[in-house]
Every structure is written in structure tokens, then in C-alpha cells.
């Protein structure tokens, strides 16, 4: 990792929770171009299928803490 990026991360982690949330929101917004193409039919069908599965009780929602924990464990086994 580049030293400047490490410094930014270190400083970001020192922010309050609300400041980190604002930072994340701001960064995510940079990945959402205003002229992004709309979802195609295949994606819309997949969204509809997954939504229906969830509504019918066939899918389990996870907390953000669980999602982060799973991601960290997967990354640890790959590295």
C-alpha cells in the first residue's frame, strides 16, 4: 500500500463514527456517475427474483457486522 494511502486510512480511522460515515458517503458518491447506464433487463430480473425470494422468507438478511466479519474471514484465508 502506498504510504500516502496508509496515512489517509490512519487519519480516517481517527475520525468520529459520524465523520467516518460522512467520509464513506462522500467517497461512494464519487463512484456513481450521473450518466450511469440504467440496469439492463437481466439485472432487473435478478433483483426481482432475489427480492421475491427474500419476501417469501427464502433468504436470510445479515447484519452489517456479520457481512464485515465474513469478508474479513474470507480475505484472511486467501492471503
Query: Within a domain: residue 3?
Result: yes
| Full pLDDT tens readout for the chain, 79 residues | 788 999 999 999 999 999 999 999 899 888 877 777 788 899 999 999 999 999 999 998 999 999 999 999 999 998 6
Query: Within a domain: residue 2?
Result: yes
Query: Within a domain: residue 27?
Result: yes
Q: How many distinct structural domains can be found in the chain?
A: 1
Cα 31 to Cα 24, 28, 36, 56, 61: the distances in Å are 11, 5, 10, 32, 25
Query: Within a domain: residue 21?
Result: yes
Q: What is the largest CA-CA distance in the chain?
A: 48
Angle subtended at Cα 53 by Cα 47 and Cα 54, rounded to the nearest 5 degrees: 90
The whole-number pLDDT of residue 31 equals 81
The whole-number pLDDT of residue 79 equals 67
Rounded to whole angstroms, the Cα distance separating 67 from 65 reads: 5
The C-alpha cell at 7 is 496515512
Query: Within a domain: residue 50?
Result: no
Query: Within a domain: residue 65?
Result: no
Query: Within a domain: residue 6?
Result: yes
| Rg of the chain, C-alpha, whole Å | 18
Amino acid at each position: 500500500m502506498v504510504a500516502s494511502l496508509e496515512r489517509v486510512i490512519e487519519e480516517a480511522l481517527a475520525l468520529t463514527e459520524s465523520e467516518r460515515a460522512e467520509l464513506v458517503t462522500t467517497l461512494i458518491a464519487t463512484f456513481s456517475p450521473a450518466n450511469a447506464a440504467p440496469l439492463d433487463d437481466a439485472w432487473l430480473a435478478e433483483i426481482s427474483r432475489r427480492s421475491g425470494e427474500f419476501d417469501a422468507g427464502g433468504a436470510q438478511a445479515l447484519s452489517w457486522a456479520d457481512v464485515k466479519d465474513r469478508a474479513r474471514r474470507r480475505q484472511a484465508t486467501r492471503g
